[in-house]
Amino acid sequence: MMRDDYKVECGVHGTSPATFICHHLSHHRENQGFHMGYDPEDPDVLYPDAWCDQCNEVLEQEGEWNDTSEAFAKIKVVCANCYCSIRAKNWLQDEEALSHLIGDSFDYLQAMQDTFMKAYNIGDCERWDWDQEMGTLIFSHEGKPTVECDVHFVGTLSTLSKTWMWAWANQSLSDKVKEQSRLVRRIGDERQFLPLACPKWSADETDGWEMTAIMAKAVGAIGAYRTPDENGFVYMVVSKARWVSQEAEQINLEIPL
């Protein structure tokens, strides 16, 4: 049984996935710090066990979870929705550094995107198809495929649950398309940015584009694209693009990229 399969009855949120946090975090306080466990056997779990700064100090003194550190943490069960709001209230991050990263990334993506859309006439294409196994996104015009792109998925935005989920945490995606999103997770872990380090959080479409811009800059993408699905949108970055039809291949020679 996967960790995410345990359920708990929450007075506020109803039946929800069960998560585990220290008792300090379970009290209604803020800015206590938020540290997440890492289980190598289940590395992409949506709601890793979490504890506060104080618990982390004890854990570092003890060097492991033992009777002392566990007695201090007194781990409690809370529902996943409560976990997310507790995480948002207690996570400490450099907000200014995060908005700089977002701003710089947007500038990067905007510049690349304009060139990409124009160079490949993406605006004229009525249709797209993606292939997870191949990691490609194919644009078509007048019934014929015209441009083939190598893509990496960033994540999905659910307009139903109003949440963002990183591609790396999405079990329905192939490794081929989600692998590069782990680079952003590493940046999030190193710089302690909640939206980059955490697999799933409350979000809107703007957040989706912000995360896409961050990944685009981090991996040096030439553009980005968003396709609708039944619950919202799938965001992806484009690493390479090429013309498909023979006619277009000749045009390609005339467009220096």
CA distance 10 to 203: 22
Looking up tokens 């960790």 gives 3
55 binding Zn ion? (CB under 5 A): yes
For Zn ion, the binding residue among 76, 81, 159, 191 (CB under 5 A) is: 81
Measured over the CA atoms of residue 227, residue 167, residue 215 and residue 47, the dihedral's sign is positive
24 binding Zn ion? (CB under 5 A): yes
Is 55 or 224 the residue whose CB approaches Zn ion more closely? 55
Instruction: Tell me which amino acid residue 182 is.
Output: R
Least gap, CB of 82 to Zn ion (angstroms): 4
Measured over the CA atoms of residue 180, residue 182, residue 187 and residue 188, the dihedral's sign is positive
CA-based R_g, the chain, Å? 21
Looking up tokens 């949120």 gives 13
Q: Which stretch binds Zn ion (CB under 5 A): 5-13, 110-118, 131-139, 160-168?
A: 5-13
For Zn ion, the binding residue among 46, 52, 213, 241 (CB under 5 A) is: 52
Residues contacting Zn ion: total by CB under 5 A: 11
CA distance 45 to 37: 10
196 binding Zn ion? (CB under 5 A): no
Is 71 or 253 the residue whose CB approaches Zn ion more closely? 71
Footprint of Zn ion (CB under 5 A): 10, 12-13, 22, 24, 51-52, 55, 79, 81-82
